[in-house]
């Protein structure tokens, strides 16, 4: 058993949330609001949010980008951890979902750090690259449509500076990555990217079994 991550019971998860995470009132309220939606499972967990805040602070990140904002929880917690002059470009296609987040971004006092771009993320990333933004970002978080994951990864790798960090979410895909019966496109895309990243000499990597699986890739 020693090679395994502890299996978390509901009581342990509650304990982690109570003792291991300093969540702001606005972040807690946004998480509760999102929990009412049928797609609530798309929201990152509070301990993952806390980890991302720690990474932002440890790396001193100022220029950040996320692909897939949903109702804005990850954007909120990242923006909270950024310095006063820090920025997050948040990419999503849903006005309906991001509108939920915008309300809480204002409540948290971080709305001015978040630049929401409502467009297909590939267009936003390509527009940034076309205006000379390659190598200017410190942190990128990929958490959107899975069949485009490889494209998002490649664009993110261009956009972050050497030493910059890329987070890739849902890399365990509910366990589907090790289920041979799962042959759908999303699962195949995640498996393919995981295999590619494992051997990608452009980055240092670790796959963390937190939430639905989070790979951290540091650009060399
Ligand atoms: Ca996710």
What's the CA-to-centroid distance between 86 and ligand 1, angstroms? 23
* CA nearest neighbour of 168 among 132, 134, 184, 192: 192
pLDDT tens for 70-116 read 999 999 999 999 999 999 999 999 999 999 999 999 999 999 999 99
Q: What CA–CA distances, in Å, run from 56 to 117, 120, 149, 151, 152?
A: 21, 25, 22, 23, 20
* CA nearest neighbour of 146 among 123, 119, 176, 101: 176
Query: Would you place residue 194 in the very low, low, confident or very high pLDDT band (cuts 50, 70, 90)?
Result: very high
What's the CA-to-centroid distance between 202 and ligand 1, angstroms? 24
Q: What CA–CA distances, in Å, run from 103 to 17, 90, 93, 96, 131?
A: 24, 15, 17, 12, 30
What percentage of residues in the chain have a pLDDT greater than 90? 94
Query: Whole-number mean pLDDT of the chain?
Result: 96
What's the CA-to-centroid distance between 68 and ligand 1, angstroms? 8
pTM to 2 decimals?
Answer: 0.96
What's the CA-to-centroid distance between 213 and ligand 1, angstroms? 9
CATH topology of domain 10-219: Rossmann fold (3.40.50)
Torsion of CA 91, 97, 100, 101, to 10 degrees: -20
Whether residue 162 is predicted with pLDDT greater than 70 in this model: the reply is yes
Task: Return the pLDDT at 7.
Answer: 85
Output the six-digit token pair for 96: 């309906």
Burial class (CB in 10 A: 0-12, 13-18, 19+), 139: buried
* CA nearest neighbour of 145 among 177, 122, 172, 113: 122
For residues 215 and 198, is the Cβ–Cβ distance under 8 A? no
Overall average pLDDT of the 154-172 stretch? 98
What's the CA-to-centroid distance between 177 and ligand 1, angstroms? 15
Q: Comparing 7-16, 54-63, 126-135, 173-182, which segment has the lowest mean pLDDT? A: 7-16
What's the CA-to-centroid distance between 170 and ligand 1, angstroms? 5
The single residue listed with the structure tokens 């917690």 is 77
What's the CA-to-centroid distance between 148 and ligand 1, angstroms? 14
Overall average pLDDT of the 175-191 stretch? 97
What's the CA-to-centroid distance between 113 and ligand 1, angstroms? 22
Query: Would you place residue 123 in the very low, low, confident or very high pLDDT band (cuts 50, 70, 90)?
Result: very high
For residues 174 and 212, is the Cβ–Cβ distance under 8 A? yes
What's the CA-to-centroid distance between 118 and ligand 1, angstroms? 18
For residues 94 and 121, is the Cβ–Cβ distance under 8 A? no
């Amino acid at each position: 058993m020693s090679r395994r991550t502890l299996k978390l019971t509901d009581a342990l998860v509650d304990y982690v949330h109570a003792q291991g995470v300093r969540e702001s009132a606005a972040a807690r309220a946004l998480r509760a609001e999102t929990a009412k939606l049928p797609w609530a499972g798309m929201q990152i967990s509070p301990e993952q949010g806390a980890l991302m805040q720690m990474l932002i602070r440890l790396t001193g990140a100022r220029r950040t980008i996320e692909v897939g904002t949903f109702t804005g929880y990850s954007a909120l917690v990242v923006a909270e951890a950024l310095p006063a002059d820090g920025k997050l470009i948040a990419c999503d296609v849903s006005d309906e979902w991001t509108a939920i987040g915008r309300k809480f971004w204002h409540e948290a006092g971080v709305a001015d750090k978040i630049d929401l771009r409502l467009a297909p993320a590939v267009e936003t990333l390509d527009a940034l690259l076309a205006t000379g933004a390659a190598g200017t970002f410190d942190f990128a978080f990929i958490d959107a449509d899975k069949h485009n994951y490889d494209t998002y990864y490649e664009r993110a790798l261009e956009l972050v500076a050497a030493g910059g960090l890329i987070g890739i979410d849902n890399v365990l895909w509910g366990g589907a990555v090790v289920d041979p019966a799962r042959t759908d496109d999303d699962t195949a895309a995640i498996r393919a990217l995981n295999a590619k990243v494992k051997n990608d000499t452009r980055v240092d990597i670790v796959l963390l079994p937190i939430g639905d699986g989070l790979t951290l890739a540091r650009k060399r």
